[in-house]
Amino acid sequence: MSTMFADTVLIVFISVCTALLAEGITWVLVYRTEKYKRLKAEVEKQSKKLEKKKETITESAGRQQKKKIERQEEKLKNNNRDLSMVRMKSMFAIGFCFTALMGMFNSIFDGRVVAKLPFIPLSYIQGLSHRNLLGEDYTDCSFIFLYILCTMSIRQISVASSSGGALGLRNPYTRSAEEMTLVPTSSRGVRMGLMKWFNKRMKAPLPQNKYILMAQTDSLPPSTAGSFITSDLCPILCKGTRHTN
Amino acid sequence: MSGARRKEESPPSHPQQHLVANGGGALRVSVWGKALRSDSAWEDKDEFLDVIYWFRQIIAVILGVIWGVVPLKGFVGIAIFCLINAGVLYLYFSSFQQIDEEEYGGTWELTKEGFMTSFALFLVVWIIFYTAIHYD
């Protein structure tokens, strides 16, 4: 096995390990705590109740009913906020660990071509794919690009598997809770965006079809890539210089 | 297709008995059994979206291997992947399963379900196989 292919396999393995590490840290600091379990159950129960209520409510529903729904939405909002506070600890721990790990891996793989790309990336992606590599052959792949791709696929798949398929990520009420708990810092941007949208939307009556409602949010995966790059890797990407001859 | 074989293997009715016998394992089998039978009834919308998601990942792995082995290079490879991924799933949910797209928020929602994850997975598999076979 050549060195390059060995590096490729190693990076995939590192990506799997870091995804598991992130989940592990989150489990230790968040998932197994009583407070988190209680809050999560509460959020799921309330969101199911709220959805059922919204499905049965009619245009001519009384003010009493609408007020009741608004109160339930407020309660749900507060529980979601509490859930995000519980996750704060794990976010800091993961951020710290990953900054250290990325620094270490960057220095190990610095200047090494870890794979060959079967395509030439777009010019603005070459900054990532050809990072710290010598020469002008843009089919040379650097550690960071392959790591990002692996993490984008592996983390999402591990989230989808652990939540019983992608279940839970589509319900607009539990989605923000699930995202905060099952998807580590890589989707922080989506999570914050979703929370803002969620808080804004709770003032307005919800459409009957929850899928129309979900269509109004950003989809998880594209934003995940962007927020992963900015939130997880920004400290690393800002460091390091391109080697020139 | 293996859907026909699944029909012969599993009892025609009493899915609840299967659940009692095997617990979660039988539940997963019945979801994939439904996925491989045409025009299945999907009471739980999330279940169908999960099937779409996982089918996308499977297609990504298969195409990544083929593209890496052939090899198919350049943006043509990426474009063909996107077309096949979107096209196959579109045929699956519109012709094979004959579902009402509006119930799921429209064709676009179904098309983008799991697309980016499958794209990342496709790139990883493509790069690995291309590097292993053509630059080893």
pLDDT digit string (tens) for A82-107?
Answer: 888 888 878 888 888 889 999 999 99
How open is the CA angle A202-A208-A214, to the nearest 5 degrees? 65
pLDDT of residue B53: 93
Test B117 with A160 for CB contact under 8 angstroms.
Answer: yes
Q: Do A149 and B120 touch (CB under 8 A)?
A: yes
Interchain pair B131, A115: CB under 8 A: yes
Report the alpha-carbon distance of residue B71 to residue B62 in Å, rounded: 13
Mutant choice from B28, B55, B116, B118 vs A, greatest count of A C-beta within 10 A: B116
Residues of B in contact with A212 (CB under 8 A): 105
Predicted pLDDT at A2: 73
Q: How confident is the model at residue A193 (pLDDT cuts 50, 70, 90)?
A: very low
More confident site: B35 or A193: B35
Residue B60 CA neighbour count, 13 Å, CB half: 21
Q: Is A213 helix (H, G, I), strand (E, B) or coil?
A: helix
- Work out the average pLDDT over A208-216: 42
Check whether A58 has a pLDDT greater than 70: no
Whether residue B71 is preceded by a cis peptide bond, meaning omega within 30 degrees of 0, is yes
Check CB contact of A219 with chain B, cutoff 8 Å. Answer: yes
What is the pLDDT of chain A when averaged over all its residues?
Answer: 72
> Is A196 a residue whose pLDDT tops 80?
no
Residue the block writes with tokens 């704060």: A88
Q: What is the pLDDT of residue B69?
A: 94
Check CB contact under 8 Å for A215 and B75.
no
Question: What's the average model confidence in pLDDT over A22-48?
Answer: 86
Which of B58, B82, B93, B131 is the best residue to mutate to test the A interface, defined by the most A CB atoms within 10 Å of its own CB? B131
Q: Which residue has the higher pLDDT, A193 or A140?
A: A140
Residues in chain A, total: 245
Inter-chain CB proximity A5 and B53 less than 8 Å: no
Does position B15 have pLDDT exceeding 70, yes or no?
Answer: no
Q: State pTM to two decimals.
A: 0.68
Share of chain A above pLDDT 90, in %: 24
| Integer Cα distance of B46 and B22 in angstroms | 22
Residue among B46, B116, B120 whose CB faces A167 most closely: B46
3-state secondary structure of A202: coil
